[in-house]
Amino acid sequence: MRVTEHYEKSVEPLISYEIIPPRRGGSIDGILDIVEALLPFDPPFIDVTSHAAEAYYEEMPGNVVRRHVKRKRPGTIGLCAAIQYRYGIDAVPHILCQGYTREETEDALIELHYLGIRNVLAVRGDDIGHVKPQRPDRSANVYASDLVAQIVRMNEGQYLEELVDARPTDFCIGVGGYPEKHVEAPNLGWDIANLKRKVDAGADYIVTQMFFDNRHFFRFVKLCREAGITVPIVPGLKILATTSHLQSLPRTFGAEIPEALADEVRGVDSNAKAADVGVAWAREQSTELLEAGVPGLHFYIMSSANHVVRVIEPLR
């Protein structure tokens, strides 16, 4: 089922999740354990992130530095297939601009279409320190709006080259939104204008980056509606689970940690107590958002479902 159909048919707000593939050479078992821990809560769909090849450097004897380029977390499509067909949960793979040509994107979308996976999240992707050399017979999507447009064209049966009797795909397209603005945007108004370009290109719904102050989300939705964006806007939430999150989440995701939350976490003496604070905060956030009538909640999960289960159990 398409993500938008899940929202249209549900009689109550939905709770969905996002997970990451294991590192190269790792086991899928830990990821599937997360999925199984979520099964009692009837997840309508689960997002699986995608990761382009990254550049990293290794110091060798003789003052030699060797440059390596590889994908540290491959397996997005395989993991999505496992989720969708082992558990009957719709999977939403992330499709990137960064690190992929349009030709590679078309191939991946064909694979997903053949697998019966009908949902994708189109994102530009982060700077990974590696610019793939561009062959003259290849092209690239620069912005997420370009990627959305490519997927829409495939939904209309238009491929990169003219094909005889080409069959259209049927992807529901999600895109990301930033309640506190994207780190590269000069201001929120500029960022919302970029978001509208993605929606105008054919995006069906928006899921936001994590935030810890609901006021950011409510303001963001108001400005989006004023800008003419009418598609569903789903709040994305992250549970602050360690004291190190006070620095790493703002640095990595540009999310502001409210003073009250930061002060409470700073006052504890263990990560377990920090997680207790984070769970309580996320539960209050979730309750307020649900009472405000959001279409659903989308939780970002890393390596364990324990904390999110503690948040959503009382919300059932």
**What pLDDT, in 10s, does the model give residues 8-32?**
999 999 999 999 999 999 999 999 9
Q: What is the C-alpha to C-alpha distance for residues 211 and 285, in angstroms, rounded to an integer?
A: 10
Please give the average per-residue pLDDT across 223-244, as a whole number.
Answer: 98
In 3D, which of 145, 215, 203, 125 has the Cα closest to residue 179?
215
- If you average pLDDT over residues 52-75, what whole number do you get? 69
206: three-class secondary structure by DSSP: strand
The answer to whether 299 and 34 have CB atoms below 8 angstroms apart is no
Residue with more model confidence, 71 or 268: 268
Based on its alpha-carbon atoms, the radius of gyration of the chain, rounded to whole angstroms, reads 20
* Averaged pLDDT of the chain: 93
Q: For residue 132, is pLDDT > 80?
A: no
Confidence label for 136 from pLDDT (cuts 50, 70 and 90)? confident
User: What's the confidence (pLDDT) of residue 54?
Assistant: 60
What distances in angstroms separate CA 26 from CA 66, 75, 77, 236, one per listed residue? 24, 10, 16, 27
Q: How confident is the model at residue 135 (pLDDT cuts 50, 70, 90)?
A: confident
- The span from the CA of 1 to the CA of 150, in Å, is 21
List the domains of the chain with CATH numbers.
3-315 (3.20.20.220)
Q: How far is CA 290 from CA 10, 34, 264, 266, 283, in A?
A: 14, 24, 24, 28, 11
Q: Is the pLDDT score of 201 beyond 90? A: yes
C-alpha 138/C-alpha 206 separation (Å) is: 29
Q: Which stretches of the chain are DSSP H helices?
A: 3-9, 29-38, 76-86, 102-115, 144-155, 188-201, 214-226, 245-253, 259-266, 271-291, 306-312
pLDDT at residue 61, as a whole number: 72
- Of 37, 48, 44, nearest to 11 by C-alpha is 44
- At 55 the pLDDT is 59
| CA dist., res. 298 & res. 48, Å (int) | 12
- Does the predicted TM-score (pTM) go above 0.85? yes
